[in-house]
């Protein structure tokens, strides 16, 4: 309070001692803004959407701003008269009582024209003070950290706090009015109307799947599960590349970019290396078998296809992290960093069971998986992006006559089913039928087997077992195993590299 009255009266302007640094603040701007609000309450509406009481440096100013806001929102007028009854009458600000200080603020207010500029200045200084606090905490914790706290945990915590500070005002929790929610829903419908395919979410590039899901919805956790050999990584890779390849940025009013179509994709490949993943994508796009690419068994025409594809892929915003055994805290920190540096519209995690929890090692794997899925769901909401998380299924599928997966087959934790907004199962009956081939082609059952195999050859079912905002059911797709590619049935779109 002494700072407030000193700066209001203009006294005590001598330079501070060299060894003392005061936290960034502008008490004069705070006084000017509060005075403008007391004279004309319209000034409050010019700053209330971004300026909160905590942003004021002077504690008394925080209280005055909070009281003024409460009074105005109740439909009453905030003046020196109406506010002084809620403040201690015997309080002192230097030689002034609090009622006298309020009167001085109002008397020296000139105009409300600059109210928003004052508010922005106060807000920016509050952010700088928060940065100083985070920096000081980092130093103090680094000096005094307990032995069981590895430095990596401190780095992840600092990144989280910095990201939250950078995103202040966008993801800060709390209630929002129903009017705001309705406006957002209408905006989403308008964007879907303008977007290719008229989808409310991000297109997967597979039209029959988009038709059932409306695309990938922002903040959704989409679990893609299947037994080994079913092609869940192939489907996730196909979707990730389709989204990145169709990315069309749109410049916003503030100079930032937003995806009009497609998006920037982050792919956590915990099982395969980035080179193996790239080989799969090149094979899918060029229709050159990945096994031939690895062996170098390719023709000159095939090589020309590979070169043309690689040139196009250099512009695709698909970012791969191949760190094995990554924790949910590390994954979240890196995703935040990618969003800040490059943008982010979709995350893929391959796969859940290869991740670790953030806490100390525990024998309770179910509890650890619960921590991972809960963390992924929270991260999707925080970053406002869909997250596709791959998952293994339990072996009990193999013991059943009907091999089609069910929700109860999700491995190690019911929390996967509980936290997921969408659960997709990849099922290829061809895989199981092929293993039943009679050894002798003269066997009476051979023709029966052959007819059944031909009926399911080159097809796959994507079973939508759970969807919070849409129907369940099965989508039948074409699957070309030599190119690890899923497409709509009779999709003629992969001819761009033919010579």
- Give tens-digit pLDDT for 216-265: 888 889 999 888 888 888 888 889 888 888 888 776 665 566 777 788 88
**Residue 231 has which token pair?**
């092609």
Between 165 and 12, the more confident residue is 165
Find the Cα–Cα–Cα–Cα dihedral 290, 293, 295, 297, rounded to 10°. 120
Cα–Cα distance between 246 and 345 in angstroms, integer?
Answer: 12
Q: How far apart are CA 370 and CA 374, in angstroms?
A: 6
Highest mean pLDDT among 45-54, 131-140, 271-280: 131-140
Distances in whole angstroms, Cα of residue 81 to Cα of each of 30, 225, 369: 20, 65, 58
Residue 412 confidence (pLDDT) above 70 = no
pLDDT for the residue numbered 169: 43
Nearest to 475 by CA among 418, 434, 433, 422: 422
- Mean pLDDT over each residue of the chain, to the nearest integer: 78
* Residue 127 confidence (pLDDT) above 70: yes
Which stretches within 316-364 are classed as H helix?
328-341
Q: Is 69:45 a contact under the CB 8 Å cutoff?
A: no
- 125-146: b (≥16 Cβ within 10 Å) or e: bbeeebeeebeeebeebeeeee
Q: How far apart are CA 273 and CA 320, in angstroms?
A: 9
Residue-level pLDDT at 197:
55
Report the distance separating Cα 280 and Cα 237, nearest Å.
8
Q: How far apart are CA 483 and CA 300, in angstroms?
A: 19
Q: At what angle do helices 98-107 and 59-73 cross, to 10 degrees?
A: 70
In eight-state DSSP terms, residue 396 is G
**Partner residues linked to 223 by β-bridges:** 389, 423
Residue 100 Cα distances to 87, 315, 458, angstroms: 12, 64, 84
> Which stretches of 227-327 are DSSP H helices?
232-245, 274-286, 290-295, 300-313
What does the pLDDT read at residue 195? 55
For the stretch 417-469, pLDDT in tens is: 788 889 899 888 887 878 777 777 666 777 777 777 777 888 888 889 888 88
Categorize the per-residue pLDDT at 497 as very low, low, confident or very high, splitting at 50, 70 and 90. Answer: very low
Report whether pLDDT(206) > 60.
Answer: yes
- C-alpha 61/C-alpha 54 separation (Å) is 10
pLDDT over 70, % of the chain: 82
Q: How far is CA 221 from CA 264, 326, 366, 386, 456, in A?
A: 17, 18, 19, 6, 30
Confidence of residue 386 (pLDDT cuts 50, 70, 90): very high
Ordered alpha helix ranges (H), 74-97: 80-84
Please identify which residue in the block is written with the tokens 């909160």.
Answer: 52
| pLDDT for residue 61 | 92
Query: Of the ranges 69-83, 165-179, 402-416, which one carries the lowest mean pLDDT score?
Result: 165-179
| pTM: predicted TM-score of the whole model, two decimal places | 0.63
DSSP3 helix / strand / coil % (the chain, rounded to 5): 50, 15, 35
Strands (E), 297-421: 318-321, 346-350, 387-392
223 exposed, middle or buried (CB, 10 Å; 0-12, 13-18, 19+)?
Answer: buried
Instruction: Output 258 or 411, whichever has higher pLDDT.
Output: 258
pLDDT, tens digit, 9 for 90 and up, residues 59-91: 899 999 989 988 888 888 888 888 888 888 777
Bigger pLDDT: 346 vs 341: 346
Catalogue the long-range contacts made by 356-361 (C-beta closer than 8 Å, 24 or more residues apart): 356/325, 356/326, 356/327, 356/328, 357/327, 357/328, 358/327, 358/328, 358/329, 360/148
C-alpha separations of 16 from 13, 19, 30, 137, 406 in Å: 9, 8, 21, 25, 71
pLDDT at 72: 86
Question: Cα torsion for 345, 350, 352, 358, to the nearest 10°?
Answer: -70
pLDDT digits (tens, 9 = 90+) for 294-306: 777 777 777 777 8
pLDDT (0 to 100) of residue 173 = 44
Q: How far apart are CA 63 and CA 267, in angstroms?
A: 47
Question: What pLDDT sits at residue 406?
Answer: 81
What is the reported pLDDT for 174? 46
pLDDT confidence of residue 347? 92
pLDDT digit string, tens, across residues 476-495: 888 887 777 888 877 545 44
Measured CA to CA, the distance from residue 308 to residue 495 in angstroms comes to: 13
**Quick one: pLDDT at residue 19?**
53
Mean pLDDT of all residues in 282-292: 76
> What is the per-residue DSSP string for 141-210?
HHHH--TTS-HHHHHHHHHHHHHHHHTTTTS--S---HHHHHHHHHHHHHHHHHSTT--SSB--S-HHHH
């Amino acid at each position: 309070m002494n700072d407030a009255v000193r700066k209001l009266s203009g006294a005590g302007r001598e330079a501070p001692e060299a060894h003392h640094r005061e936290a960034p603040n502008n008490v004069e701007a705070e006084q000017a803004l509060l005075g403008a609000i007391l004279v004309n309450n319209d000034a409050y509406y010019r700053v209330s959407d971004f300026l909160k009481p905590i942003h004021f440096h002077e504690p008394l100013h925080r209280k005055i701003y909070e009281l003024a806001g409460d009074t105005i929102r109740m439909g009453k007028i905030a003046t020196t008269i109406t506010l002084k009854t809620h403040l201690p009458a015997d309080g002192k600000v230097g030689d002034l009582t609090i009622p006298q200080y309020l009167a001085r603020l109002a008397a020296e207010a000139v105009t409300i024209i600059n109210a928003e500029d004052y508010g922005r200045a106060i807000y920016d200084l509050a952010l700088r003070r928060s940065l100083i606090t985070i920096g000081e905490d980092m130093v103090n914790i680094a000096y005094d950290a307990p032995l069981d706290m590895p430095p990596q945990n401190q780095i992840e915590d600092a990144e989280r706090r910095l990201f939250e500070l950078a995103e202040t005002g966008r993801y800060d929790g709390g209630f929002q009015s129903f009017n705001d929610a309705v406006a957002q829903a209408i905006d989403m419908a308008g964007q879907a109307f303008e977007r290719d395919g008229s989808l409310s979410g991000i297109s997967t590039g597979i039209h029959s799947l988009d038709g059932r899901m409306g695309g990938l919805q922002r903040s959704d956790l989409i679990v893609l599960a299947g037994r080994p050999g079913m092609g869940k990584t192939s489907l996730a890779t196909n979707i990730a590349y389709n989204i990145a390849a169709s990315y069309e940025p749109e410049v916003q009013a503030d100079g930032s970019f937003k995806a009009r179509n497609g998006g920037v994709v982050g792919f956590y490949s915990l099982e395969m290396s980035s080179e193996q993943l790239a080989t799969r994508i090149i094979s899918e796009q060029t229709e050159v078998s990945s096994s031939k690419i690895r062996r170098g068994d390719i023709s000159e025409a095939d090589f020309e296809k590979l070169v043309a594809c690689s040139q196009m892929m250099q512009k695709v915003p698909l970012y791969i992290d191949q760190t094995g055994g990554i924790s949910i805290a590390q994954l979240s920190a890196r995703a935040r960093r990618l969003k800040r540096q490059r943008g982010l519209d979709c995350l893929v995690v391959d796969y859940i069971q290869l991740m670790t929890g953030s806490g100390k090692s525990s024998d309770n794997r179910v509890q650890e998986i619960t921590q991972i899925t809960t963390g992924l769901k929270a991260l999707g909401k925080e970053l406002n992006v869909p997250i596709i998380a791959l998952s293994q299924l339990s072996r009990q599928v193999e013991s059943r006559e009907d091999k089609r997966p069910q929700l109860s087959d999700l491995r190690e934790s019911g929390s996967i089913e509980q936290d997921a907004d969408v659960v997709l199962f990849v099922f290829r009956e061809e895989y199981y039928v092929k293993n039943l081939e009679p050894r002798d082609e003269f066997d009476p059952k051979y023709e029966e087997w052959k007819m059944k195999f031909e009926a399911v050859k080159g097809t796959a079912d994507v079973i939508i077992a759970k969807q919070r905002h849409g129907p369940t059911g099965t989508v039948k797709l074409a699957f070309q195993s030599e190119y690890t590619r899923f497409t709509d049935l009779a999709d003629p779109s992969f001819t761009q590299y033919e010579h």
